[in-house]
Amino acid sequence: MNPQEYILSGIVESYVLGLASPEDSAEFERMCDAHHEVRAARNAFELQVEQSLIHQKLEPPRVLKSRIFSEIGMEKDKQPPGIIANTPALIPRKGFARYVAAASLIMLLGSVLLNLYLLDQYKKSIAQYKELIATQTQIAGANQVMQTKLETYENALGLMKNPKMAIVKMPGMPASPAPSSMATVYWNTESKEVYLLVNQLPMPVPDKQYQLWAIVNGHPVDVGIFDMDKNFSFIKLKTIPKAEAFAITLEKKGGSTTPTMDAMYVMGKVTG
């Protein structure tokens, strides 16, 4: 912990106000010797507390001293008279009580000031704690999202590496609304499962969805509709026993029974 963080931890206030443990006090004194900024922070807070107490203190009446000397039987500028054997000591009365009351009031005001300061520090600590918890929650959420994405990538990579996968590349059609579009079908020749990797397709409007078709014996067969992911789209669709080609069209939301030919974006033939 650097000196600035150490100062902001509240140790300066705890030490000056006598609230620090012996171990913390010893560590604080070592930090004061090693770092001038810690020592300066201590001196500044001590001066602040001292000035606050001086500002709040009550001055006793000017006649109080004369009354005290009068009550105990001595003049203001003389030494106390000698004590005579078997003579009971004089007991201070009203004047001394008022002096004690004034001192007690000063101590009470100092205690109130201290309590207000500690309350303010407590509120600041609670606010910092809540902020820290919120930050930790946000970081934990971001880590969870990253972990999910990583698992998705790893699963997709494992499927792509499967030697039983037939890879069908589907480039953009010349008459496509977006000729630079690209998608790839991974078709498991054993389980007949179809996976789609969206390489590049424009994001559809809200009332439209892309639909994958398999060309079987010259006829289009629905393989499923899918939603776009802004970051990565590797989607499992319907099982297809056989196909000569695959294509993607943009259809109304929910899909169509037949493809809209003028909205065909990509197409690719199955080889091998």
- Cα distances (angstroms) measured from residue 9 to each of 39, 48, 59, 70: 15, 18, 36, 53
Q: Are 105 and 45 in contact (CB under 8 A)?
A: no
Query: Per the structure block, which two tokens stand in for 67?
Result: 């009354």
β-partners of residue 222 are: 213
Angle value at C-alpha 261, between 255 and 267, nearest 5 degrees: 90
The rounded radius of gyration (Å) of the Cα atoms in the chain is 43
- Mean pLDDT per 10-residue segment, the chain (272 residues): 84 80 90 91 82 59 56 51 44 49 71 81 84 84 72 70 88 92 92 92 92 95 88 83 95 94 94 74
pLDDT of amino acid 84: 44
Model-level pTM? 0.46
What contacts 24+ positions apart, CB below 8 Å, involve 144-149? 149/231, 149/232
Residue 257 dihedral angles phi and psi, to the nearest 5°: -80, -25
Name the residue ranges covered by the structural domains of the chain.
3-138, 165-269
Q: Which of 65, 63, 47 lies closest to 55, judged by CA? A: 47
